[in-house]
């Protein structure tokens, strides 16, 4: 079993406590995020996903309970620097995160602010750009990049700080399908090839199927957790809180209800096609 990197105990968060507009956004969240895993966090609008994500690098502090990163409590100001270095954050709108006139300068911004020697800054920039496949565009102004490229640049900026964990809050929400695929592929390769812990907040169920584990939030509570296969087997629970299965999983469920012997755990289009081809070939309707 991998070591845990982030531990959450009895976490509650209330915005504007005691004031008009007070809002309980998280209630008694408990859980551990393991080193090197890809955890997806899903939930309907307003369920507390972003609030939770912001606790992982101390952008928000618990109203009650604790969040620790490698044993360091986010509530202790003395740990802030270390925690921000370990846990990188990428938000929904890449335009809000890009600061410089050229791609490579943008990635260098963070490491330069750390006061690192120029050779180390260059090494980090080279590595971060190559990780997200933007090395060839290093001299381009960020505003000329596509949405997917901009978001990959934002990821490179976070990577240049050498985090061990990357938190992405709906990084693909503003992108078209091609941009979403680009960014998802970068995220998956960082997790699988570089061993980075990834926490991915998303509304796209098709992205969730690649996660090791899924947390489902509803009204500030962690209501369901497990592997994608388990979570998406809980169709009724998800429906009650306003979430849908990934398209292929929903189709598999409907076919199963209609009497087709589709096994549980079909989540992706590839799974479904393989399964249907197997069934059809038995009836003589297989591929010629």
Ligand X SMILES: Nc1ncnc2c1ncn2[C@@H]1O[C@H](COP(=O)(O)OP(=O)(O)OP(=O)(O)O)[C@@H](O)[C@H]1O
Token representation of residue 159:
């990577």
The radius of gyration of the chain's CA atoms, rounded to the nearest angstrom, is: 21
- The continuous run of DSSP H or E covering 165 comes out as strand 165-169
Task: Give the binding-site size for ligand X (rule: CB under 6 A).
Answer: 12
- The listed partner (ligand X, Mg ion, none) that binds 258, CB under 5 to 8 Å by sort, is none
Is 172 a binding residue for ligand X by CB under 6 A? The answer is: no
Per CB under 6 A, 135 contacts ligand X: no
Q: Does 156 bind ligand X (CB under 6 A)?
A: no
Q: CB nearer to ligand X: give 15 or 109.
A: 15
- Closest to Mg ion by CB, 203 vs 235, is 203
CB of 61 to ligand X, least distance (A): 13
Token pair for 216: 């489902």
Residue number with CB closer to Mg ion (49 or 152): 49
- Contacting ligand X within 38-67 (CB under 6 A): 43, 45-51
Smallest gap from residue 26 Cβ to Mg ion (A): 12
- Residue 102 or 241: which CB sits closer to ligand X? 241
- 93 binds Mg ion, rule: CB under 5 A: no
Q: Which partner, ligand X, Mg ion, none, binds residue 25 by CB below 5 to 8 Å per kind? A: ligand X
| Chain residues 29-88 in contact with Mg ion, contact rule CB under 5 A | 49-50
Phi, psi (5° rounding) for residue 162?
Answer: 55, 55
227 close to 238: Cβ distance less than 8 angstroms: no
The structure tokens listed for 59 are 């952008």
What is the contact mask toward ligand X in residues 15 to 34, using x (rule: CB under 6 A)? Answer: xx------x-x---------
Question: Which among 163, 189, 199, 198 has a CA at the least distance from the CA of 88?
Answer: 163
- The reply on whether position 94 binds ligand X by CB under 6 A is no
Tokens 């699988």 sit at which residue? Answer: 192
Nearest to 269 by CA among 261, 280, 258, 277: 277
DSSP helix/strand/coil, 88: strand
- Residue 116 in contact with residue 160, Cβ under 8 Å? no
Say whether 59 sits in a helix, a strand or coil: coil
Contact 89, 157 (CB under 8 A): no
Q: Pick what 151 binds: ligand X, Mg ion, none; C-beta below 5 to 8 Å, kind-dependent.
A: none
Footprint on this chain of Mg ion (rule: CB under 5 A):
49-50
Positions touching ligand X (CB under 6 A) are 15-16, 23, 25, 43, 45-51
């Amino acid at each position: 079993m991998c070591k845990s990197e982030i531990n959450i105990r009895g976490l509650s968060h209330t915005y504007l406590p005691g004031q008009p507009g007070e809002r309980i956004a998280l209630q008694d969240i408990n859980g551990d995020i393991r080193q090197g895993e890809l955890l997806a966090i899903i939930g309907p609008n307003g369920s507390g996903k972003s609030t939770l994500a912001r606790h992982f690098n101390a952008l928000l502090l618990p109203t009650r309970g604790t969040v620790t990163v490698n044993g360091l409590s986010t509530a202790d100001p003395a740990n802030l620097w270390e925690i921000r270095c370990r846990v990188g954050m990428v938000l929904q709108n890449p335009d809000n995160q890009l600061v410089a006139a050229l791609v490579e300068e943008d990635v260098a911004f963070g490491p330069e602010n750390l006061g690192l020697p120029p050779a180390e800054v260059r090494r980090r920039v080279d590595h971060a750009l190559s990780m997200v496949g933007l090395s060839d565009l290093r001299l381009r102004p960020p505003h000329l990049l596509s949405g997917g490229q901009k978001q990959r640049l934002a990821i490179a900026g976070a990577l240049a700080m050498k985090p061990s964990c990357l938190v992405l809050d709906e990084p693909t929400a503003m992108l078209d399908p091609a941009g979403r695929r680009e960014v998802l592929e970068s995220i998956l390769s960082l997790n699988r090839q570089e061993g980075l812990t990834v926490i991915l907040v998303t509304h796209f169920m098709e992205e969730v199927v690649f996660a090791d584990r899924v947390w489902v939030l509803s009204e500030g509570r962690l209501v369901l957790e497990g592997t994608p296969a388990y979570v998406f087997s809980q169709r009724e629970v998800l429906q009650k809180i306003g979430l849908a299965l990934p398209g292929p999983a929903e189709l598999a469920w409907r076919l199963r209800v209609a009497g087709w012997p589709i096994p549980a755990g079909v989540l992706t289009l590839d799974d479904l096609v393989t399964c249907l081809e197997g069934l059809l070939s038995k009836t003589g309707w297989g591929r010629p």
